[in-house]
Structure 1
Amino acid sequence: MAESRLPHIVLFSGGTACRTTNLALLSKPVRLTRIVPAWDSGGSSKVIRESLGVLAVGDIRQALMTMAHGEGRAGDVVKVCNARLTSGAQEDARTEFALYAEGRHPLLERMEPGLRGAILNYLRTFRAAIGRDFDFRNGSIGNFILTGAHLAHNSDINTAIFVFRKLCDIAGHVWPSTAEGGVDLSAILNDGTRIEGQHRVTALEEQAGRTGIRDITLSAAGGSVAANDAVLESLESADAIVFGPGSFFTSVLPHFHVEGIVPTIARNVHARRVFIGNILQCRETRGFDLARMLDIAGALWQARGGADARPFTHVLANRQLLPFEKTVGAFAYLGNGALAETCLRLGAEAVVEEFEDPWQRGQHDGRTVADVLSSLLPA
């Protein structure tokens, strides 16, 4: 079947939580598009973002590398883009970066000249922009290349991603939900406390987590946060639009706050809209159950222009095997709560199965999730 005629699945997600699902879907006869957050404010992305004032690229690069892995891409370009610098002495990290930027790293020396030249161009563009005091420690070479491409192509992140995909020979698509830089996420707790920054929300201290998140906001210098045109085009052609798995308040729900995304999904009456419940609670969702999360998402859907369309056609819920709360490490399993009643109210069908990976407690079995998603695709 021609690629353009394959079913198109659009997956709203964060980083690691949906990795196994992403990989399993790549083994199916589908076209896959990942929509990732553009408000990452931690790690290597934070350092780049604060130094250059550009859109955070960490989640984009991670999703692209997952695509490369699932598609069996393991050449030297992918190895370079997946590399990280030493986390030791700052001078050692600077020296290691120079090996890449000056083309003296063994992976670059044996590379085809055209590919090598493109990578060096983007690394040198990045180096020229960040100045002398940049801290390279634990930095991702892929983040540096993608940021360099972003700068080299007039700050057009979509063009930068296109070039990055071509360099790595990646077929799957990855887009940030907004192409705007400087987008910030904040959470307001139930006691009125405001937590600024995605990285602080995902790392809530236990007491703050038990207080609970009441609301989240996205903000940008220009006010509202506009959707990436490439995302809207993907949603218009989707056969299935999937939310999660991932951190509910920082990786999944915020996409509803991006202008244009909810109305565009609502207009696609053909596509299945699937919410995948997490296996475990997390720092953001202590004491929550799946039904409560669906109620929050449903209310935001209506507020952001969902009109009379139902937010989800299907909800994938992990089967509860025990009548008491069980934990894995610091977190309890996410209960389903009043799932049947909530799904009835939202107009969604609950699909309850054992979605936990038998070898990785607390994580999804990607193959099982992918099989169910495939079975839900429109004929």
Structure 2
Amino acid sequence: MKEKMQPKMVIIGGGTGLPVLLRGLKHHDIDITAIVTVADDGGSSGRLRDELRIPPPGDVRNVLAALSDVEPLIVELFQHRFQNGNGLSGHSLGNLILAALTSITGDFVKAIREMSKVLNVHGQVLPAANKSVVLHAEMEDGAIVSGESKIPYSGKKIKRVFLTPEDIEPLPETIEAIRQADLIVVGPGSLYTSILPNLLVPKIGQEVCQAKAKKVYICNIMTQAGETLHYTVSDHVKALHDHMGCFFLDVVVVNNGQIPEDIQQRYAQELAEPVQDDSDRLTELGIRVIRDHIVSYEDQVIRHDTKKVASLLLSLITAPPSS
């Protein structure tokens, strides 16, 4: 009897949003490929990137930890960040291990593969490119801000983002995963600094536009100062479509759960507010909108409910095609 093939899901993102989603998905019987940004230039990742001339390992490290199936203490060790020590302070052990493995194997992608074996990772983790990229933002006043970590602090409204160098090549495995996918998931995560740096890698955006898979965007729950101040749901979607140059989303997932007033007030101090749901505009464009209570609160921090979102995505991947 022929074995049933696992549904194939490609998730594109970075930052804190992608690991949150993956922690729920790894418990399901699906073939996961996570495509992770390599535009980070701040903190430990930025230091290793500059000093060792390697792609920034931080976002990849967080995704590996989220998909790992080992003792919690091993994951805690991998994620440990040194608080002091000359030259060591601020670095996470996982970043240093990935940097060491890149040196040993001579290749960042090989380092990720070897670390995936050690951590018993459920699925495959692929950087959007096998070398560092620089993210730039053109502001509405025409000014250019360079560097992923600097863009949110420019104090200006973003018109568009773009990458250098222009001759970035995605991995063949990434292209193959997108072509074979049953479902492609974009987000959640910082719109301009975590999600778009993946989609702007030449060929990745084109392949996503052309892919036969259903494409889903998980909209952020809160706006982000310096990136999406006062953005509505349709503003997020418009930015994605404008940058991609194609109308590619089939489904948008929106939170309709209430956020406690005290948490809203705390976020308001950072100029963040709940993303306004104007998704009826998307329905008019033929995009299916799914509204659900998908918000959770970990230590007063707003996150997507990983189990709920995973179940929702699974229902999309297993649903029969609409007639």
Same fold (TM over 0.5): yes
Is 2:315 the counterpart of 1:375?
Answer: yes
CA contact (8 A) 1:328 1:361 kept: no
Q: Distance in 2 between matches of 1:80 and 1:328?
A: 31
Q: How far has the Cα of 1:282 moved from its partner?
A: 0.8
**Aligned position for 2:217:** 275
Q: How far has the Cα of 1:165 moved from its partner?
A: 1.0
**Aligned position for 1:227:** 170
**Alignment gaps of 5+ in structure 1:** 91-134
| Cα pair distance change 1:151/1:321, threshold 3 Å | closer
CA contact (8 A) 1:150 1:159 kept: yes
Q: One-letter code of the match for 2:288?
A: E
| Cα pair distance change 1:320/1:83, threshold 3 Å | closer
Is 2:273 the counterpart of 1:332?
Answer: yes
Q: Which has the higher strand share?
A: 2
Q: Which has the higher helix share?
A: 1
Q: One-letter code of the match for 2:216?
A: V
Q: How far has the Cα of 1:266 moved from its partner?
A: 2.9
**Aligned position for 1:31:** 31
Q: Deviations over 1:264-295 (max 9, x none)?
A: 223321x1100011110112111111101111
Q: Distance in 2 between matches of 1:185 and 1:242?
A: 22
Is 2:18 the counterpart of 1:7?
Answer: no
CA RMSD of aligned residues (A): 2.4
**Aligned position for 2:159:** 214
CA contact (8 A) 1:295 1:342 kept: no
| Cα pair distance change 1:139/1:376, threshold 3 Å | same
Structure of larger gyration radius: 1
Q: Which residue, out of 263, 270, 273, partners 2:206?
A: 263
Is 2:91 the counterpart of 1:136?
Answer: no
Tell me the SS of whatever aligns to 1:169: coil
Q: Deviations over 1:35-65 (max 9, x none)?
A: 1111110111111111121111111111101
CA contact (8 A) 1:48 1:56 kept: yes
Q: How far has the Cα of 1:219 moved from its partner?
A: 0.5
| Cα pair distance change 1:166/1:358, threshold 3 Å | closer
**Aligned position for 1:58:** 58
What are the equivalent positions in structure 2 for 1:346-361 lying under 5 Å apart?
347-357=286-296
**Aligned position for 2:252:** 315
CA contact (8 A) 2:21 2:310 kept: yes
What are the equivalent positions in structure 2 for 1:1-379 lying under 5 Å apart?
5-68=5-68, 71=69, 73-74=70-71, 78-85=75-82, 87-90=83-86, 135-154=87-106, 156-181=107-132, 183-202=133-152, 204=153, 208=155, 211-220=156-165, 223-269=166-212, 271-283=213-225, 284-302=227-245, 306=246, 310-319=247-256, 327-329=265-267, 330=270, 331-337=272-278, 339-345=279-285, 347-357=286-296, 362-378=302-318, 379=320
* TM-score, normalised with respect to structure 1: 0.76
**Alignment gaps of 5+ in structure 2:** none
Give the percent of matched residue pairs that are identical in Structure 1 and Structure 2.
25
Q: Distance in 1 between matches of 2:59 and 2:4?
A: 26
| Cα pair distance change 1:315/1:157, threshold 3 Å | same
Tell me the SS of whatever aligns to 2:291: strand
Q: Distance in 2 between matches of 1:26 and 1:75?
A: 15
* TM-score, normalised with respect to structure 2: 0.88
| Cα pair distance change 1:53/1:327, threshold 3 Å | same
Q: Deviations over 1:222-244 (max 9, x none)?
A: x3322222211211221111011
Q: How far has the Cα of 1:11 moved from its partner?
A: 0.9
| Cα pair distance change 1:4/1:246, threshold 3 Å | farther
